[in-house]
Amino acid sequence: MSGSFAENLNKGVTKFSSNIIVKTIAAGMARLLPVTMIGSLATLLISFPFEPWTEFITNTGLINIFSVGSQMTNDIISIYLVVVLAYDMSRLIKSNQINSILVAIVSFFVVTPMTPALVGESTINVFTTTYLGSRGMFVGIVISLLATYLFYIISEKGLKIKMPSAVPPAISASFEALIPAVGTVTLFVILNVLVGMTQWVDVHTMIYALLQAPLEGLGGSIWTMVFLALLGEFFWFFGIHGSNVTSAVNNTLFMPSAIENASNVASGLPATKVVNSYFLEAFKGPRHTVLSVMLFFLPKSKRLKAIGKVAVVPGMFGISEPMKFGIPMVLNPVLLVPMSLAPVVSLLIAYFAIKIGFMRIVSIAVPWTMPPILSGFLVAGWQGAVVQIIQMFAIFTLYIPFFKYLDRRYVSEEELQENTVKGK
């Protein structure tokens, strides 16, 4: 391992993760958690893997009350996405936050088509969840970032309205303050009119055709997910928080499918997207739990025993840092193979289990700190728990030869040290 490679990698990662768009999407998507959790809780209550329960809520009509929790979160997720992205981007570029948020929401609605609907006797125009739900997420990202940025540029440029000198400065200032907001929204109104003249008819359709459709191919593939998981472990090998670096890409590619599934299940439709971010969170594999338990029970070396004591409880909840830096796994060629392959094998096992019809498609988010077996059960019933147990065996099998080798090496190092101390 050349130091220069690690340095260059670190520089590259620094460059990537300090990019304003990457930073905004990573932070903003993380901030959506309370909203997606409410949606997930609703979906969980509706699809809880216990037949008497589902019968009970259907018969009592409770199911309709629960589904509100999904309708008001998953089905209009794009609105919340516009808010958090405008918040984070304006925070990062040091622009006015509340004005950016307002302008971004207005701009998003400006480019969102309304649909005529017949209510009783009269026809009214409505926003449909077709545009505000998972399908609108890409539009939400693009418009929110663009609106926030335009607002900032126009504010910075300080476009002035030439007022006659007789007008008091305070009065001309009050007009100037309105220019960035009015200017930004006007630009989107013009964009909307222009796109209306093209084959796409509206901005949503245009962005879907140009961006989302090509990306959906990538985001729908298990191999993209496996590759990104592998890339994450590769970063970890150099001591860089892998999923922290890849989260912006992961969320952009896989979150819309997760939200779509959750929406569907809560409204009684089947989930169709196998590869999604909720699937990734639940079935990336209980690697840290398995390894920390191994560390607690198996080592003969003092060094690994000490790490085991620190690592086992956090390991239950999926926290790996004590092991990453304590064993260490960072820059440790002995553990590189099992560390890289564990998430790959785990994801493929879970994917296979869904493909053969053993396990249901994941449409529920559990916090990634939820202990395995329980998390599998919550998202996919007893089959989910079984899949996680199979993953545990697979991970154990992957690690054990390398783990034993490392332990033996540490034992002989420790013996050598003791003998030196004793002066043998």
Task: Examine residue 410 and tell whether it contacts other proteins (CB under 8 A).
Answer: no
Closest separation in Å from C-beta 132 to other proteins? 25
Which whole-number Å values give the CA distances from 401 to 193, 405, 406, 413, in the listed order?
64, 6, 9, 19
Beta partners for 126? Answer: 115
Closest separation in Å from C-beta 392 to other proteins? 21
Q: Which of 208, 236, 254, 351 binds other proteins (CB under 8 A)?
A: 236
Residue type at position 292:
S
Nearer to other proteins, 327 or 342 (CB): 327
Output the six-digit token pair for 158. Answer: 């300080």
Residues in the chain, total = 424
User: At 92, which helix (H) or strand (E)?
Assistant: helix 77-92
Nearer to other proteins, 11 or 157 (CB): 11
Angstrom distance (rounded) from CA 123 to CA 111:
21
Which whole-number Å values give the CA distances from 120 to 113, 116, 124, 342, in the listed order?
22, 13, 10, 58
List binders of other proteins among 73-92 (CB under 8 A).
88, 91
List binders of other proteins among 287-316 (CB under 8 A).
306-307, 310, 314
Closest separation in Å from C-beta 22 to other proteins? 12
Task: Examine residue 393 and tell whether it contacts other proteins (CB under 8 A).
Answer: no
The owner of tokens 């697979």 is 394
Task: Examine residue 374 and tell whether it contacts other proteins (CB under 8 A).
Answer: no
Q: Among 7-15, 68-76, 173-181, 371-379, which window interacts with other proteins (CB under 8 A)?
A: 7-15
Nearest C-alpha neighbor of 102 from the set 208, 50, 180: 180
Closest separation in Å from C-beta 240 to other proteins? 6
Q: Are 346 and 389 in contact (CB under 8 A)?
A: no
Cβ-Cβ contacts under 8 Å for 221 (sequence gap 6 or more): 275
- Contact pattern for other proteins over residues 237 through 276, marking x by CB under 8 A: --xxx-xxx-------------------------------
List binders of other proteins among 324-353 (CB under 8 A).
324-328, 330
Nearer to other proteins, 331 or 337 (CB): 331
Crossing angle (nearest 10°) for helices 51-60 and 62-71? 90
Which whole-number Å values give the CA distances from 358 to 241, 260, 326, 336, 399, in the listed order?
33, 22, 38, 31, 26
Q: Which of 6, 22, 31, 53 binds other proteins (CB under 8 A)?
A: 31
Closest separation in Å from C-beta 225 to other proteins? 19
Nearer to other proteins, 182 or 331 (CB): 331
Nearer to other proteins, 172 or 244 (CB): 244
Task: Examine residue 10 and tell whether it contacts other proteins (CB under 8 A).
Answer: yes
Nearer to other proteins, 93 or 390 (CB): 93
Burial class (CB in 10 A: 0-12, 13-18, 19+), 321: middle
Task: Examine residue 30 and tell whether it contacts other proteins (CB under 8 A).
Answer: yes
Q: Which residues contact other proteins (rule: CB under 8 A)? A: 10, 13-14, 17-18, 27, 30-31, 88, 91, 236, 239-241, 243-245, 306-307, 310, 314, 317, 319, 321-328, 330, 369
